[in-house]
Chain A
Amino acid sequence: MKLLIKNGRVIDPASGINEERDVVVEKGKISSIEKKGSVPEDGFKIIDAQGCIVAPGFIDMHVHFREPGFEYKETIESGAESAAAGGFTTVAVMPNTNPVNDVRSITEMIVNIAKTKAIVNVLPIAAITKGLKGETLTEMADLKNAGAVAFSDDGMPVSSNEIMRRALEYSHMLDLPLIQHSEIKDLTKGGCMNEGFVSTELGLGGMPREAEDIMVYRDISLLPRTKGRLHVAHISSGNSVDLVRQAKAKGLPVTCEVAPHHFILTDECVRGYDTNTKMSPPLREQWDIDAIKEGLRDDTIDIIATDHAPHDTVDKEVEYANACFGIVGLETALPLTLKLVDEGVLTLEKAVEKLTLTPAQIFDLDKGTLKPGSVADVVIFNPETAYKINAADFKSKSKNTPFDGWDVKGQIVHTIVQGKIVYSNS
């Protein structure tokens, strides 16, 4: 089927286009990007993108789809639907499933389920250590061969200094980044929110930002000798942003990501004990948000990744300390990211870049661009549409979000994968 996407403003950071153009899609690939109104319409299915942005489909390198083992929270199928509704055409799933994705057979299983049931591209991230226990390395080469695009123990940090060193060294020959959930576990013992005045008032155990800072520093320190590649997951501490900035200045191979909730919410939201404010790393303070915005502005923070972590009410409607960590994020990412554009932290083009081109570059994916010849993974969104977030309408199986009821701007109109429309906002 031939698609003609007309009247939209095409933003493709890879080719530097940021103006109204028409996009031609044929046989699942981008055929060409033409001058606006120059393409005759017959023979095409027309998508009118008036008032909309036409961009490469968003890429989220940090989601949890819970399959195998926790299918009541999410499956690869439902997660993919959620991704499509959020404008994401490619996502990478974390291995903290049950069983853990630490052997070839699980990776292959995920790839197969994705192939048959997922409407977007779902790429596996395999574990660094067996069972995420932090004791022995996985068969990383075999896992890469089975389709893993990166390695991570996310959910857990790799606590042992020696194991992290060896993992970085070993992965060097595979040229894949290690994604680290940076948390010194014995500093956060018993903690369930940021350690600060709010945790003092609420009587909740604190997770000080030093628990993240120290591990980020440790991992960066290991890079020169090991020549491994580090990607810092869900950065939350202003200090960590600084450490990454300094490391990049030295030319070290470190990248990092931030989740929208870490540039929108502070730990003040925890007052009232709504467990949809509980995640790891936790919501921090205004100072951290300011540092993160600065990091986004100067490209210290490379990409935005939601850390989409679906949980059922069974896991969340309990005492704060007993609730599972995490919130869903795929279907709220766009409006929250656009707030950065509104505030002048990022241009719209930069925001798109951090959701498309840059993740593709870091993880060496043949995606994130609308250059002719590339796979037609496209997102069409209206940055001005105002609406109220309604968690009950989420395509995800889980509705655990603190943003329910928020008045926001920026809505996905169509999501297209390999030239097929997989989501339309009716």
Chain B
Amino acid sequence: MQYSQKHLLGIKDLSKEDILAVLNAADSFKVYTQRDIKKVPTLRGRTIINMFFEPSTRTRTSFEIAGKRMSADVINIAGSSSSIVKGETLIDTVKNLEAMNCDILIIRHNEAGAAELAARYLKNPVINAGDGYHEHPTQALLDLMTIRDHKQTLEGLKVTIVGDIAHSRVARSNIYAMRTLGMDVSVVGPPTMIPVDIEKMGVKVFYNLEKGIQEADVIMMLRIQMERQNKTFFPTLREYSNLFGLNLEKLKKAKKDVLILHPGPVNRGVEISPDVINGPHSVILNQVTNGVAIRMALMYLLLGLNDETVN
């Protein structure tokens, strides 16, 4: 399996082969992250820039650890200190970084299309760590890896994604990835949070949680985005939680060996009850472990690429 893209801007650009290439490579990386010396020398001396315009401890740390475990030099740039605040455009910032010869740019931004904009101006690979509501491809890849760890196969599995789908890049990326791999995807949420025409992405829509998770193999809970919350989308957290919060009682509708995933951070008691998070179905921590392996694999695949194999 070969990874054929120059960048990782979105799952929508990836073929089934591309996705499997990343997953297979990531499986191999796991071994290294579990021994005492967690580094491999493969990207020794390369420079990886982590440019995060949106706050994120978890994803940024995961990318940082991944890069360092590949023996690369990882530099973190936070949005507020990066001169964007002084009025420097994204493009100027990116061009400056290119002038300093960075090998990979990882970018998280609160506007859709930012990663694509950066990639237009950078000759080296760009990894999209989340651009507005658009895509968060590494999240989808680590989610798939986690599901595969437990279920061995992916094709034909029934997955339900629950939450604020309209404002979720995790949902979009996962839907693309899962549909490409032949998985059956449903989304659940209040009508105000289900985006227009989402059925055209090949998913079923439910406004009722129990119906949506009927016989599900995998349930993915999304964080109710309090920082992006526009109060007009639902009346109160209380009502949301009553209708769409996952607890052990409602979970009975899913398959007995259902997996619970969550991109984190979790709003305990809102979208998911503590006994579910702490229970045997939850693989949330596995997601985090796999996140590092996926990101290591991507760095390896993007930097080892022959120019001729790129589109």
Contacts and interface: CB of A to CB of B under 8 A. Distances in A.
Interface of A: 190, 195-197, 199-204, 206, 272-273, 314, 317-322
A319 B134 contact: no
A-B residue pairs, 6 tightest by C-beta: A203-B134, A273-B113, A203-B133, A319-B111, A197-B197, A200-B195
Contacts, number: 65
Given A203-B172, A204-B112, A319-B90, A197 B200 contact: yes
A320 B91 CA distance: 12
Interface string B103-118: 0000001011110110
22 contacts: A195-B196, A196-B196, A196-B197, A197-B200, A199-B195, A200-B195, A201-B12, A201-B172, A203-B133, A203-B134, A203-B172, A204-B133, A273-B112, A273-B117, A314-B89, A317-B117, A318-B117, A319-B109, A319-B112, A320-B112, A320-B113, A320-B117
Contacts of A318: 89-91, 117
Given A202-B134, A322-B111, A273 B116 contact: yes
Interface in B148-168: 166
Contacts of A204: 112-113, 132-134
Contacts of B135: 203
A201 B91 contact: no
Nearest to B199: A197
Interface of B: 12, 89-91, 109, 111-114, 116-117, 131-135, 166, 169, 172, 195-198, 200-201, 230
B62 to A, nearest CB: 22
A80 B201 CA distance: 47
Contacts of B114: 319
Nearest to B89: A318
Contacts of A273: 112-113, 116-117
Most B-side CB within 10 Å, residue of A201, A203, A321: A203
Among B166, B196, B198, the one with the most A-chain Cβ atoms within 10 Å of its Cβ is B196
Contacts of A190: 230
Contacts of A201: 12, 172, 201
Contacts of B112: 202-204, 273, 319-321
A194 B116 CA distance: 20
A318 B121 CA distance: 12
Contact of B196 (A206, A319, A321): A206
Contacts of B198: 200
Contact of A197 (B91, B113, B132, B196): B196
A273 B116 CA distance: 8
Given A200-B195, A272-B116, A321-B113, 13 more contacts: A195-B196, A196-B197, A197-B197, A197-B200, A200-B196, A202-B134, A203-B131, A203-B172, A204-B112, A273-B113, A317-B89, A319-B111, A319-B113
